[in-house]
Structure 1
Amino acid sequence: MNNSSTYGDFKQMAAGDYTEKQFETDIEYSLCTNGGYTRGNPEQFNRSLALDTKTLLSFIKETQPKEWKKYVGIYGSDSEKAFLERFTRETARTGIIRVLRQGINDRGCRFRVVFWKPETAINEESTERYAKNILHCTRQLHYSPANENSLDIVLFVNGIPVVSIELKNQFTGQNVKNAIGQYRFDRNSRDPVFEFKKRIIVHFAVDLCNVYMTTRLNGAKTKFIPFNQGSNGAGEVGGAGNPITYGKYQTSYLWEKVLTKDCLLEILHKYLHIKTETTTDSNGKTETKETLIFPRYHQLDVVTKLLSDIKENGAGKNYLIQHSAGSGKSNSIAWLAHRLSGLHDSSDEKIFKSTIVVTDRRVLDSQLQDTIYQFDHVEGVVVKIDKNSKQLRDAINSGAGIIITTLQKFPVIFKEIKSGNRNFAVIVDEAHSSQTGEAAKKLKTALADTEEILEEYAKAELEEEEKRPDEEDRLVAEIAAQGRHKNLSFFAFTATPKDKTLQMFGVRQPDGKYRAFHIYSMRQAIEEGFILDVLKNYMTYSMYYRIIKNIPNDPELDTAAGIKAIRRYESLHPHNIAQKTIIMVEHFRNQTKNQIGGRAKAMVVTPSRLHAVRYCFEFKRYIKEKGYRDLDVLVAFSGDITDEGMTWTEEKINRTESGEQIKEKQLPKEFHENFNILIVAEKYQTGFDEPYLHTMFVDKKLSGVKAVQTLSRINRTAEGKESTFVLDFVNSAEDIREAFQQYYEATILAEETNPNVLYDLKYTLDDFRIYRESEISSFAEIFFADREEKEMGKLSATLQPAMDRFAAKSIEERETFRTTLSRFIRIYGFITQVCRMSDKDLHKFSAYAKFLSTVLPKGEKVTVDLDDKILLQYYRLEKSFGGSIVMEKHDDYSIDPIKGEAGVKKEKKDTLTKLLDRINEKFGTDFTEMDKVLLQIENDIRAEESLVNFAQNNDERVFRPVFEKVFKDIAIQRYEQNDEFFIRMFNDSSFMQYTMDLMRSDIYRKIKTAQV
């Protein structure tokens, strides 16, 4: 068909024609002139079979004539009917995606219904076959056997409908929401053309500004998601929507890029897959749900741009992908890994021998294997390393296509990898500090093309190359692992890049700043509805208290240790934990537990394992006392913790309803199915994906990345989940806003780290005169010698003089030296990975420094125990903020680079009284008469010896009625002194009960632990 003559009328657009019909015409014109399509004939569409049967049969006969002749020999005059019936049965049985990729078989005849673009141009026959694919753009397709409804545009591949488009035009008073409504309410999902996995694969709702898509029509329940670029374009900083374009539609990328022949067929071939999820309800009934995954625009864009850059520049570059939670990183990684494993250069040579995915996410390995099997239907493409490092070494040396492993596997095998001239792609999932440390360096050593760097080093050394001592061989090998290499490409995915990550993996801009290669921001994810805004419902409580001395003398204490001890006393005080427990339990039970159809869950973030244990027991005690049967608590922490003579582990505490111990690996599943409150200490604050987690209570100082990662545990979407809630006892709203602002849109490193900070730190260390250059040289001769077994005795002998000199220094000098030495080691490990440092002396010193730091005695930490020397006099919790923490949209996203300064605070001392004054000034307030009255009542009750004796010999349940009688008697005695308060208490029984409950547990615990 001659497109130029057929579509000449498209250019004669009527002036002022802003109708939907004109919108269709413009799209059709673009696809048929530049997109690889021809105009389709709607009359050829068989509504019952949902196929353009004429085109499909014509394609089969013309591209596979020998097979068709064989087929006709079997079926005779019924061959066309038999083929269409077989096609329909196969798509019903295995799905349209598998039929597109694998074709159909019938009585020994195999037919391909589409030919894919070959990876290389070597096979001319494959290239010619690809050119024979027939893509049609058909307008106003009447699709239903039952009515005359029509679709605006349907795209066909060889007669098979794969894409539908409903268009709306703001100039006629409608928009994309109307198109979505049309799909939901006017399109019957039982019509053959809409049946899930059988015909049309993706449905687009489009207007002049926005695109939405779905892969499954399900009436009013149909879920559409945005398919937009982002307000500033794909991969750029911004929010939802599309950038303003001049001279074309804002949504033209859909038909000018995504739906063109090459791109659409590539998506059908290498992106589409079925995600299968099996869930089990509380009754043991299992349900399997299938989802057809079509890439979101940013996912398609990032993979396309990465592949294009690699083809242009080859191996050896690092790439940082800053994609927020909700971006679908697992799918992006799977698609990228698959594409990298088959990528060829302009000479048709395979670029990467192996693609290695480094991740700690267990779900990713099975997801990768399942997804890639759907693409190729070949077993063994993905190798999971779940045994030992030998398995990993063998997989790399055998050239396995895709290898999934953890970073920890690399250090023990780095000397055994036979990299030669092979290129490796390394995809790092959630790249943080672990990628800039010792294990990451050894990963680079394992895969680096060592010979190339050795040659480079040799040129710099010139004549000294031959004079180099043997012990330097290993030194140079380690230097070869530093910096970037032509045979290594790193792809780092993270939502919250730090300064080191930006410099190691980021792209250097003309102004010297570093930014990610591709960005999908938290702002865009929130605005597009893929994650929830955890700052939208945020409440903070301020804590006020006064602590007094409980001893006659006034000891002098280390200032820092003393303040820490006072704060710890307050935070672990039974009254503090009891008060916060009441607020958390009652708020969750009365306000948020019934969210998500009653499935909402809460997490309590505590500052230590001891806090977690005490909160857990207090939660359980309070819930039992109140008779609440709808709350169940779990606790999560690592290792064991001793409290009041008892040693606890999470497995020792956590039990099922039947009393069975819950193992650590069982906890996520148990929490999802049977519990609704999880109390944590440095656990499950990152990487924990529980969609029903709705509420978070924070009793821990959070800042920076930690704040974002922790609070993001509740941002996952789920059916029926429309909000989240945070109640924070420690951090201010402004603190949290500042933490999130850095990662809300983009993170950019202001400037690169100056490698000379290493020399600055080295000079500072030299000034202490703790080591000698001769000692460093002696150490290096032994350490870099080419032998398997290190001579530990000789090594330690070279370190002993420095240890002796270190011991002779003052406490302050020792601490400053130790801190500076540690900082040098950390920064050296980072800088040598972002640039080559061919300074042999500095490298020798770094090895010496690492060993010296391990043998130096640890810092003399000053600890103070004040539990029996101070008392909590007043205490009050007060709501200080409630509402939405609003992020700002601005142009400066910069963070500062690493600096070379190091030092420690000088030791200071203060009296206990002065320390208490400082604490009380910061956390005190004008305490009310009620605060003082409660303290008076508590003191009177604790003076009742009979009550104390009774508490010491009975449990709290028996103690309760006795306590309440004593409480009322003492309250009556105090009546004349505080009549206003007591009138209220005696006239309000609920207030009286609340006050008694408030004090009883605190007093009982103090008596039981002899705190009277």
Structure 2
Amino acid sequence: MKISHREEAEVEEQLIRVLGEGHNQWTYRPDLKSEEDLWVNLRQKIISNNQAELNDFPLTDKEFETIKTELLLRTKTPFDAAKWLKGENGMARITIEREDSQLGSVSLILYSNQDIGGGISTYEVVHQIAKRGSNIEARDRRFDVTLLINGLPIVQIELKQVTAKDGVYQAFNQIKKYAEEGIFRNNIFSTLQLFVVSNEQTTRYFANALPKDLHPKFLFSWRTKDNKKVENLYEFCKQVLNIPDAHRLIADYTIVSEDQDNKTLMVLHPYQVHAIQALFIAANKHQSGYVWHATGSGKTLTSFVSTKLLARKSGIDRTIMLVDRKDLDNQTTTEFTKFASEFNTGISSGNAKANSLIVGTGSAKELSETLLADANANVVIITTRQKLDAALKYAKKQEEKKGTNRFQKLMGQHIVFVVDECHRELSAENMEEIKKMFPKSTWFGFTGTPIFPENRKQAKGQLARTTHDQYGEVLHTYTIKNALEDGSVLGFQVEHENTVEPTSLENKIYRKLKEVETYAEYSSEQINRMIDQMEPVKKESYLAPAVFEADEHIQKVIHKMFRPDNAYTKFDFRNGRPTKSAILTTSSIDMAKKYYRAIKEMTKEPDWLTKEFPNQPIREGRTMEDPDFPRIAITYSLEENSRDSSVQQEEMQKIIEEYNQYYDTSWSLADIERYNGDINNRLARKRAEFKQFGKQIDLVIVVDRLLTGFDAPTIQTLFVDRNLEYAGLIQAFSRTNRTYPEKTKGLIVTFRKPATMEKNVEDATKLYSEAKEESGLIYPSYQESKKRFKQAYGKLKEVSSMESIDEHTPLEIRIEYVKAFQELNRAYESLVTYDDYNDDMV
């Protein structure tokens, strides 16, 4: 709805009224106007909530100063503050020695995640708190609206007028400036967890962070359960900042993430929150189901938080999260152990303690002991289906040998299984086997590409053929179209290249038809007429696989990939160096190896670009000055190869040796999984050591590995020399759709049967966008982009010639000219990413 223009003070007053209405329950405290007032208020809360602990001996001034000092020590950064607020068993405490030594020490509760909406928790709203500058030079500040839980500032709301240009981003920039000035550090505001920015008509929220990590891309809009955006400030408050939901958002849906390079506080997107809440409802009813969330939208994090929170629910004996098989074990282990700081044990195995995170237990024996131990609340087990199978067999065997009944007890428990990438990790057959063992189990699957009737699996007895058949009802949906609207993922620019000349294809069809008895008597004219009337997809069906396995095809593909201007765009060269990476997926391991050798051969000389492309120099203004480009690797599992002979082993050993020589590593066939893990790390470029230039990989050649579940935002391009459709197509394309600085879209180039692949892309995007028409997921074709560019150029010429625009030109014409020029620039930037682009077309 439209809101009339009001001053910021009026907006604040209306916001405070809404926060205090109905079930929102925030108590307005107009008496609190300064930081000193907030400390006094906090002291009162501590005394009120710890009467039994204080035992009628009030806090002294000295004791409260100790509390302040300890509080500031625990909240030096947003990450530290979040970790402390998570507390031990949900309680954030500070222990002090009493001033009277006879009273000993006392552990005081300052904040509770257990008492949400009641208990010891209090909810207050203040505004225009005066905040002195952090140093002599810094200006004093006043904060718009602050929400206090138990007297601690937890949510900060910054407001702008509707008329303010880019009001939300103005408010965000203001918060970032405050953070840079240290306004939120080393004072009572260091406990802030969440920011909300709004100009009444547009509202966003984001987690607190260090100034260097505050970025506009982390501003999230709220959506309802059915993915309708909530932009209105007051509606946002009713849906998100009410009590108990505001407290629950902080307690349950903010995550502390810690690895060797970074410590951050994260807040979930609304679709993640809605999905988790839907799982709670289903689990209480013992009803299984699945979550359909777009690939690239953070499914793995959602499934992890679901598992963690379900472990705390009464009525659930244990939760087990199943993740992908060993070829992704390295990445998933790293991903999950980032969250270990919230738990007691981090990576562990064996007998679990309460509040434990157990990731990838090392052996069947260790996991079996964990499973057979008494069920504890808050124990999260993350493992693979293979390890679980082995552990269950071991546990059963050991219990039978000992004559104990722990395994029988385990079988009778209500175990919730959360399956990340539910079709890749667990077949319907595997799932049925486990369900027979645990008849009271509940199953939740996560997928970005559900199996529908349109692409259902082949029949295999009575086993499930669709996601619905296997898991039950869909519990929450967030399609790739929704993700694209939110900016959570990028769209795809798809180019379909043809390595078979049309005349050559028609000649092949002609010969094939002449071999068919039905057409043996047809004249050449009749057969040619038939061919002319064929649909392109039908024509391509006559192409034998051998056509695409020939050296001629491979050479055409690699010369298309590495033609200077194409390579410059696809690998995003900047200052002469490639800044993005790519994957080439092929139809077989043999083809993958042929490509690896062909590219190695083509690029072996330092001046290979000039020699291979003498008539296709790089465009003026562009440079490619990386002598080692392209750094390539190949990865596949040896067991995938049916001819797993000594020859195949020798080939892989030679490939690993070449890899070792360049990267100064020492992998071998004996530790091929570590070799694969190293490739993953160099392609993903997430860890600091692999962000260094020269340490990364530019191109990885695969068959199926890395095409599902692998998260690497620096991957910009997918080269496809095989057939893909439906789920496999979307999963593979989605390796390129992660957001990343200076990356505007995922680039896809296909090299087989362009008409067939074009139809496959259309079918898949419609199915997984839940869209009958164009979803906006696929960028316009080159021809459409070219048309847009010409129209923009024509419009610019129409407005005025460049010579006639100056400071004396009427303002309306100058504005129109600027708009026309901006559209031309956007059209040009879009056009130059296509391989077909040619400067001469201008």
2: CA distance, partners of 1:656 / 1:506? 42
| 1:103 to 2:93 alignment | yes
CA–CA separation in structure 2 for the residues paired with 1:364 and 1:744: 27
1:616 aligns with 2:627: no
Match of 2:544 in 1: 567
Contact 1:39 1:138 in 2 (8 A): yes
Deviations 1:311-362 (A, max 9, x none): 4xx22x1121001123222222222112211213xxxxxx111111111253
1:738 is aligned to 763
In structure 2, the residue matched to 1:585 is: 562
Q: Tell me the equivalent position of 1:114.
A: 111
Q: Does 1:31 align with 2:22?
A: no
Instruction: Assess, with a 3 A threshold, how the Cα gap between structure 1 residues 45 and 304 changes in structure 2: closer, same or farther.
Output: farther
Q: Which letter does structure 1 place at the counterpart of 2:194?
A: V
What code does the residue aligned with 1:382 have?
Answer: L
Q: Map of 1:710-721 to 2, 5 A cutoff? A: 710-721=732-743
Of 169, 177, 201, the match for 1:208: 201
Q: Is the 8 A contact 1:531 1:717 kept in 2?
A: yes
In the TM superposition, 1:68-107 aligns within 5 A as 68=54, 77-92=61-76, 95-100=80-85, 101=87, 102-107=92-97
In the alignment, is residue 61 of structure 1 matched against residue 19 of structure 2? Answer: no
Distance 1:328 1:55 in 2: 39
Matched, 1:430 2:452: no
**2:761 aligned partner, one-letter code:** I
SS in 2 for 1:591: helix
Deviations 1:223-282 (A, max 9, x none): 34343344xx32x3x5xx616xxxxx734453223223322333333333321233xxxx
2:322 to 358, 365, 369: 358
What is the distance in 2 between the residues matched to 1:652 and 1:133?
64
**Separation in structure 1 between the aligned mates of residue 214 and residue 337 of structure 2, nearest angstrom:** 31
SS of match in other structure, 1:519: strand
By how many angstroms is 1:78 displaced?
A: 2.5
Q: Which amino acid aligns with 1:536?
A: Q
Q: Hey, what does 1:292 align to over in structure 2?
A: 265
Once the two structures are superposed, residues 168-219 of structure 1 have per-residue CA deviations (whole angstroms, 9 ceiling, x without a partner) of 3436766423323333456644113599993311111123243242422527
Residue 491 of structure 1 deviates from its aligned partner by 0.9
Q: CA, structure 1 residues 365+635, in 2 after alignment: closer, same or farther (shift >3 Å)? A: closer
Match in the other structure for 1:517: 475
User: Which amino acid is 2:45 matched to?
Assistant: F
Aligned length: 645
Cα distance change of structure 1 residues 70 and 687 upon mapping to structure 2, 3 Å threshold: same
CA deviation profile, 1:839-868 (whole Å, cap 9, x unmatched):
xxxxxxxxxxxxxxxxxxxxxxxxxxxxxx
Deviation at residue 705 of structure 1 after TM alignment: 0.9
Distance 1:884 1:705 in 2: 28
Q: Say whether residues 1:260 and 2:242 are aligned partners.
A: yes
After superposition, the Cα gap between the structure-2 partners of 1:112 and 1:558, relative to the gap in structure 1 and judged at 3 Å, is farther
In structure 2, list runs of 5 or more residues that go unmatched: 98-104, 346-352, 397-406, 453-464, 519-539, 610-626, 668-674, 686-694, 773-779, 787-842
Question: RMSD value over aligned CA atoms?
Answer: 3.9
Identical positions, percent: 18
Moved more, 377-386 or 262-271: 377-386
Q: Distance in 2 between matches of 1:104 and 1:643?
A: 61
CA deviation profile, 1:745-771 (whole Å, cap 9, x unmatched): 489xxxxxxxxxxxxxxxxxxxxxxxx
Matching residue's letter, 1:615: Y
| Aligned residues of 1:410 and 1:443 also touching (Cα < 8 A) | no
Q: 1:132 aligns with which of 120, 127, 130?
A: 120
Between 488-497 and 539-548, the greater mean CA deviation after superposition: 539-548
Aligned to 1:653: 655
- For 1:19 and 1:571, the matched residues in 2 are separated by 67
Distance 1:30 1:505, change over 3 A: farther
Following superposition, the deviation at residue 155 of structure 1 comes to 0.9
* 1:110 counterpart SS class: strand
Q: CA deviation at 1:546?
A: 2.9
Amino acid corresponding to residue 96 of structure 1 in structure 2? A
Indicate whether 1:664 and 2:700 are aligned. Answer: no
The answer for the alignment partner of 1:21 in structure 2 is 9
1:368-767 matched pairs, under 5 angstroms: 368=336, 371=339, 374=342, 381-384=356-359, 386-398=361-373, 399=375, 401-411=379-389, 413=392, 416=396, 417-418=407-408, 419=410, 421-432=412-423, 435-448=426-439, 487-499=440-452, 500-504=465-469, 516-533=474-491, 535-536=492-493, 538-541=495-498, 543-544=500-501, 546=504, 567-586=544-563, 587-595=565-573, 598-625=578-605, 626-627=607-608, 629=627, 630-639=629-638, 647=648, 649-654=651-656, 655-656=658-659, 658=661, 662=667, 663-671=675-683, 672=685, 673-730=695-752, 731-732=754-755, 733-745=758-770
Please give the alpha-carbon distance, in whole angstroms, between the structure 2 residues aligned to 1:255 and 1:330: 28
The offset of 1:492, in angstroms, is 0.8
Residue pair 2:295, 2:449 contacting (<8 A) in 1 also: no
Structure-2 change in CA distance of 1:343 and 1:555 (3 Å): same
Contact 2:259 2:338 in 1 (8 A): no
> Judging changes above 3 Å, is the alpha-carbon distance between structure 1 residues 332 and 167 closer, same or farther for their aligned structure 2 residues?
same
User: Paired residue for 2:211?
Assistant: 218
Cα displacement string for residues 90-130 of structure 1 (whole angstroms, at most 9, x for unaligned residues): 323882224332311223321111233359xxxxxxx9xx5
State the match for 1:808 in structure 2: none
1:481-520 CA-to-partner distances (Å, cap 9, x unmatched) read xxxxxx2211111000003343235666xxxxxxx21011
- Answer whether contact 1:356 1:424 (CA < 8 A) is retained: yes
* One-letter amino acid of the structure 2 residue matched with residue 627 of structure 1: W
1: distance between equivalents of 2:120 and 2:645? 79
Amino acid at match of 2:447: T
- Code of the aligned partner of 1:141: I
Name the structure 2 match of 1:308: 281
Opposite residue 308 of structure 1, the aligned amino acid is I
The AA in structure 2 aligned to 1:242 is K
Deviation by residue 1:630-665 (Cα, 9 ceiling, x = unmatched): 222212233258899964644432423635665333
- Cα drift, residue 135 of structure 1: 1.9
Distance 1:172 1:579 in 2: 54
1:437/1:242 CA distance change after superposition, 3 Å = closer
Residue 678 of structure 1: how far off its partner (Å) = 1.4
Contact 2:572 2:579 in 1 (8 A): yes
Asked whether 1:153 is paired with 2:153, we answer: no
Instruction: Compare relative contact order (CA 8 Å, sep 6+) and give the higher one, 1 or 2.
Output: 1
Normalising by structure 1, we get a TM-score of 0.58
Q: Aligned to 2:661, what secondary structure does the other structure show?
A: coil
